[in-house]
Structure 1
Amino acid sequence: MLIQLSSAVLAASEVAEEHVSIPMSPIMYGVIIMGALLVLMFATISFTSLGHRHEATPEHIDPQRQFPNKHDHGQGIEG
């Protein structure tokens, strides 16, 4: 079976020897990708100050919570 497959691949590769050119210069592909990444970087930078708008408030301690957080520094229900 592998011999048949390899002979079919060789026969197909001998027939299809056409060269296909790319539509743009390879440098232009790099410029477009770099521009897209710069746009994403500037969008990320523009939203960095959103976390500093309000003062942090302590979380309400809920004794009925199934999975309590471990960040209440011992103020919750002691088990």
Structure 2
Amino acid sequence: MLTQLSSAVLAASETAEHHVSIPMDPIMYGAIIMGVFLVLMFATISFQSVGQRHDATPEHVDPQRQFPNKHDHGQGIEG
């Protein structure tokens, strides 16, 4: 069945060769993509200071935690 389908597709493609044009200039595709990336960049820049609003506070060490934070190298506040 696959052989019949592939031969039918091959026969159809050999007899009818038509070209499809794209709906707008290729430059416009680039301009639209560039505009989308600029909007994403401005959204990223606008939220740049969110992480700097408050001072960092140390995390207390919870011995009952299933996956304890091992990034403090034993310097955390003991609970």
Deviation at 1:2, TM superposition (A): 7.7
1:70 aligns with 2:54: no
Larger RCO of the pair (alpha carbons < 8 Å, separation 6+): 2
1:1-79 to 2 correspondence within 5 Å?
4=4, 7-75=7-75
Structure 2 counterpart SS, 1:48? coil
Q: How many residues align?
A: 76
Note the aligned Cα RMSD (angstroms): 2.1
Alpha-carbon distance between aligned partners in 1 of 2:39 and 2:64, rounded to the nearest angstrom: 45
TM-score normalised by structure 1 residue count: 0.78
Deviation at 1:28, TM superposition (A): 0.5
Gapped runs of 5+ residues in structure 1?
Answer: none
TM-score normalised by structure 2 residue count: 0.78
Task: Identify the structure with the greater strand proportion.
Answer: 2
Gapped runs of 5+ residues in structure 2?
Answer: none
Indicate the larger mover: 30-39 or 63-72.
Answer: 63-72
Identity %: 84
